Structure 1
């Protein structure tokens, strides 16, 4: 066994060994919904969780979802260029298609994407209130796709008791970038509303590395827009609301490894939902219905030019319809247990895809649809004064594959004598074969396999967190460590003749997530995260591509006055294996090759001019690193954006 993982038990025990007797934290704990479907204090959830709030997004200068997630522990973000370009997330060494993304609790992974993966490079954040990231298997709650983890984008809400609140953002800077957002929200009587519009335009940067001799230094521009509208009513324990969200990006693309002057893309998504919820038995039982529709449309067009006589006209349409009945029941005390809560419900999903892509003779087509129905239940409670237990179970029944029974169980033990808590959990998860994998065709030589089984996994983790009484505070330092281990089976890959797909691959990943937060003075919070991952293809006995062994992030919130906040951030990514590599000449290099490590420095400063107006400056990649997150795609160069935010 590798020495790093022989030391894992010591790493997990380190927060406890460092601790001494300290007072419990007096602040109210944060409440998490994504991890259990029941609003639960974060300290009682047996899972590794990261929450990015609206304040985090603004103070750290995150423009896109990809930027916001890049420093989350256990995660590796791989983006092929700048804003708007394709971005994939790998959580704890699992595949990018093994991450499930929710919008206000509704799955929004693109059904038309061949693997059912989510593109993290598309989303702007003006209408997002918080981002909840739950690492580890989540299929017992949300079904297919949640092998590595679940990411929930929670949209902004109307302020209570305020008839009209106007907010916005206006900024501009290098690379011809301009960004703006304008919104209004409010509550009057039982009614509430929210309307937000946002847009961004940039000339972008050259995604092709300078080392490749064919680079023409052409930049890839982006024109992005999004709008969100919500209208609702609430009275007593009953609420009804409707929401509509639109997002559309127009962007320029590159062929790998050469620039292409007229390769363009259009990526559009519509999302709508209606939701009603009411309380029964004096609010002890909350039941609700939700209907949601997501429609993705992507088109990529490339006409012949002086650099290439080939052409591309690819069109993808994917639709997901969701009907969900959910319940939360507060059971109170039951025998030796207290604060017992039960969540249960039923979900029905229908997906359809129409896709036509590729060159003549190599044309890829998919025209199919399928439905899935699932029932799920979860229970949690506290045994004695310090042990929280939880368990969940879900059965998915599908039209055209065998379905899957997933589960997860966990425990959290509070150790107030040493201001610590220890948690452990284990569970299964799955990723259903996509419609392309089951029914897609490539010319006359490839046909999908309708008999594919779901990819499945078993994962477990154990972790500890401790507050150390230093610098005159009970939580002057917070240390944490989590060991994780995931085994994934029945992975889908091409058969030997490349004429179809089979469940023939296996993979494993293990690692440690280490965290440290230091609060030496009132005006400084510093954080450090280090994730060590070993991910391997068990069949080929080779490292998995784009899973670096070491990812280290560091950041701070420096507030020397009540008006000024300075947020530096550093991200280091170690050497990363890749199976799609290009020499400096642009020639393809076969086999596993390692991308060099890279470091990116960002700095954001915000100054509150008045109670309603804040001025800020955002500097990205200030060291002008030419690091390649994916071989053949360089990280954007140095940039600066200045602007102002307002809330009236």
Structure 2
């Protein structure tokens, strides 16, 4: 590790003088998840999806689960409604093998047993966009990015407005109400953004109706609030300082399957703080940025003795993450046919700690531990002959209590304008560090974590093509894409044969395809469709991995029947998938793996621009009133509707 840190520092010190006079345009102040360098999406050698603020509003998304449900290659499995545990499976990888970031800082909760992120907690009122990169991203973001990375980017201040207010108010079925109020602007050298959002609902019962003898009329209510504030200053051209604070707290009712339990409650609190400084020097040749961040998670679940259960629960999870990241982008001069060349060099340190106590008094799970990870990373991207974009990355992570992990990525995008096509191919590796619970957790005297666990490690490759067709009166009237991916994951962490500890014992083989189509029929009509095929299997037994649908389809339309109207239906179909266990209709637990039935969700949002700065909207959810079970025993919410208004002035 010391050798790699020294190499990074030496390369940085020697590169700056050599190219200090090379003129190049300023880098935009943005985050690009796929490369760490601002790059057009069609030149990134990875499968990416960007969900913009406009799409969030036009499609009626109110939670992160809803926004990600139609992303190709990504499956959400939620055990209930808003706020309930929601696991995300990217390209067949485990739910803890997806890195989730907020403004570039990893926010996976270290206090969870596996380090997985709960997608069910996040509201979207303060977000500008959501960037998704599929495929191994550990060479850029380290641990957890085996399946990919998701970066949420908070709202930015407009440069030409001193004050701009924005807000939203809506209400609907299940006694649901939500609101957003905020302001942003730029005053001289200073800019700011502040937002307050909240949602409350009586919810619905998540226990599947087929378990009628164990089901009550109890609903899973949710009350959530979040506040975000950013203050930035640009004292001189090319220099920027900013601070961001974000607080979120959710109170929720939980369901227990197969027996409903009305007094099972949860509280989930998160605090996020970031200080960031960036300087653009030598006429834009060198951009250097330093980030300091802290993320705190605190979760408590309680369930007191009542007529439905004689057992009690009082579980507390507390996790803290501190991050220091120094990132540098150096614009290199053109060299013959090689243009747009950029070198990224950086070092980062991450400190995680956990204090966790859960379970019954006689079978108590305890974890009190911390770990530090130091890493150095580098990346290089360039264009060749204005046709081929190449990106390469290398990273080395070293944690205080296990050996180092080295990851890499290499990819390219070849433009073939003669065929209106772009050919993409890439390969890379990823890793997942064992969680603090997996290393140091205990359960009474019967279980003890294994501090000698190795990281889970993957190697993957993908290749595909995207082609535009001249139809509907425009050169890109129809865009078709096809991509194949193949991944092997080894050293998966699982229980030993006596269930007294954990060992690196498993391996997985995953292959699949993502087929996409975008039809720009007219200025009024646009259709976006995707079909994902996944074959994820245990490499030793050839059994299908749990909760990975073999097929998944999505179709989103944007129709503007009149200048002030936008109508956006969204259909998601989840094919059958293997569940590691199930519950019979009488509530009996069945430990043998079985298939979960396919399901579909149809939502519809209509928006009307009543005034230039005021929009009225209505959203209908689950129009087909399907009783699909994303997780066996838990059903999606029934048909619902919301009406509201949003404004900007």
Q: Which residue of 1 aligns with 2:71?
A: 72
Q: CA deviation at 1:195?
A: 0.7
| 2:242 matches 1:241 | yes
Alpha-carbon distance between aligned partners in 2 of 1:486 and 1:200, rounded to the nearest angstrom: 39
After TM superposition, list the pairs within 5 Å mapping 1:64-463 onto structure 2.
Answer: 64-212=63-211, 213-234=213-234, 235-463=236-464
Q: Is the 8 A contact 1:493 1:505 kept in 2?
A: yes
Task: Provide Cα deviations, 1:178-235, integer angstroms capped at 9, x if missing partner.
Answer: 0001001110111001110000000001100110131113110000000000001013
Residue 114 of structure 1 aligns to a residue whose secondary structure is: coil
Q: Is the 8 A contact 1:482 1:514 kept in 2?
A: yes
Q: Is the 8 A contact 1:32 1:42 kept in 2?
A: no
Alpha-carbon distance between aligned partners in 2 of 1:261 and 1:615, rounded to the nearest angstrom: 36
Alpha-carbon distance between aligned partners in 2 of 1:32 and 1:192, rounded to the nearest angstrom: 18
Q: Which residue of 2 aligns with 1:572?
A: 573
Alpha-carbon distance between aligned partners in 1 of 2:274 and 2:521, rounded to the nearest angstrom: 46
Residue 469 of structure 1 aligns to a residue whose secondary structure is: strand
Alpha-carbon distance between aligned partners in 2 of 1:140 and 1:204, rounded to the nearest angstrom: 41
Residue 161 of structure 1 aligns to a residue whose secondary structure is: coil
Alpha-carbon distance between aligned partners in 1 of 2:217 and 2:135, rounded to the nearest angstrom: 41
Residue 611 of structure 2 aligns to a residue whose secondary structure is: coil
Q: CA deviation at 1:332?
A: 2.8
Task: Provide Cα deviations, 1:284-342, integer angstroms capped at 9, x if missing partner.
Answer: 10001110000000000000000111000000000000001000111131344111011
Alpha-carbon distance between aligned partners in 2 of 1:88 and 1:321, rounded to the nearest angstrom: 24
Residue 429 of structure 2 aligns to a residue whose secondary structure is: strand
Alpha-carbon distance between aligned partners in 2 of 1:610 and 1:258, rounded to the nearest angstrom: 50
Residue 521 of structure 2 aligns to a residue whose secondary structure is: strand
Residue 607 of structure 1 aligns to a residue whose secondary structure is: strand
Q: CA deviation at 1:112?
A: 0.1
Q: Which residue of 2 aligns with 1:9?
A: none
Q: Is the 8 A contact 1:130 1:155 kept in 2?
A: yes
Alpha-carbon distance between aligned partners in 2 of 1:140 and 1:582, rounded to the nearest angstrom: 41
Q: Is the 8 A contact 1:32 1:41 kept in 2?
A: no
Residue 339 of structure 2 aligns to a residue whose secondary structure is: strand
Alpha-carbon distance between aligned partners in 1 of 2:186 and 2:489, rounded to the nearest angstrom: 47
Q: CA deviation at 1:540?
A: 3.0
After TM superposition, list the pairs within 5 Å mapping 1:588-603 onto structure 2.
Answer: 588-603=589-604
Task: Provide Cα deviations, 1:73-97, integer angstroms capped at 9, x if missing partner.
Answer: 0011111111111101101111000
Q: How many correspondences in the alignment? A: 620
Between 303-312 and 536-545, the greater mean CA deviation after superposition: 536-545
Q: Which residue of 2 aligns with 1:12?
A: none
Residue 180 of structure 1 aligns to a residue whose secondary structure is: strand
After TM superposition, list the pairs within 5 Å mapping 1:496-575 onto structure 2.
Answer: 496-575=497-576
Alpha-carbon distance between aligned partners in 2 of 1:624 and 1:254, rounded to the nearest angstrom: 20
Residue 334 of structure 2 aligns to a residue whose secondary structure is: strand
Q: CA deviation at 1:126?
A: 0.2
Residue 110 of structure 1 aligns to a residue whose secondary structure is: coil
Task: Provide Cα deviations, 1:608-633, integer angstroms capped at 9, x if missing partner.
Answer: 00011000001100100000001010
Q: Which residue of 1 aligns with 2:62?
A: 63
Q: Which residue of 2 aligns with 1:21?
A: none
Q: Which runs of 5+ in 1 are unaligned?
A: 1-30
Q: Is the 8 A contact 1:491 1:504 kept in 2?
A: yes
Task: Provide Cα deviations, 1:108-153, integer angstroms capped at 9, x if missing partner.
Answer: 0000011000000000000000000000000000100000000000
| 2:584 matches 1:583 | yes
Alpha-carbon distance between aligned partners in 1 of 2:619 and 2:444, rounded to the nearest angstrom: 48
Q: CA deviation at 1:576?
A: 1.3
Residue 130 of structure 1 aligns to a residue whose secondary structure is: strand
Alpha-carbon distance between aligned partners in 2 of 1:539 and 1:113, rounded to the nearest angstrom: 27
Q: Is the 8 A contact 1:161 1:188 kept in 2?
A: no
Residue 66 of structure 1 aligns to a residue whose secondary structure is: helix
Alpha-carbon distance between aligned partners in 2 of 1:470 and 1:288, rounded to the nearest angstrom: 45
Q: Which runs of 5+ in 2 are unaligned?
A: 1-29
Alpha-carbon distance between aligned partners in 2 of 1:438 and 1:344, rounded to the nearest angstrom: 31
Alpha-carbon distance between aligned partners in 1 of 2:530 and 2:160, rounded to the nearest angstrom: 39
Q: Is the 8 A contact 1:140 1:393 kept in 2?
A: yes
Between 88-97 and 333-342, the greater mean CA deviation after superposition: 333-342
Between 247-256 and 534-543, the greater mean CA deviation after superposition: 534-543
Residue 320 of structure 2 aligns to a residue whose secondary structure is: strand
Residue 121 of structure 1 aligns to a residue whose secondary structure is: helix
Task: Provide Cα deviations, 1:432-458, integer angstroms capped at 9, x if missing partner.
Answer: 000000000001010000000000000
Alpha-carbon distance between aligned partners in 2 of 1:53 and 1:303, rounded to the nearest angstrom: 43
Alpha-carbon distance between aligned partners in 1 of 2:419 and 2:562, rounded to the nearest angstrom: 33
| 2:75 matches 1:38 | no
Given the two structures, how large is their TM-score scaled by the length of structure 1?
0.95
Q: CA deviation at 1:521?
A: 2.1
Q: CA deviation at 1:539?
A: 2.4
Q: CA deviation at 1:161?
A: 1.7
Residue 475 of structure 1 aligns to a residue whose secondary structure is: strand
Q: Which residue of 1 aligns with 2:13?
A: none
Given the two structures, how large is their TM-score scaled by the length of structure 2?
0.95
Q: CA deviation at 1:483?
A: 0.4
Between 79-88 and 222-231, the greater mean CA deviation after superposition: 79-88
Residue 210 of structure 2 aligns to a residue whose secondary structure is: coil
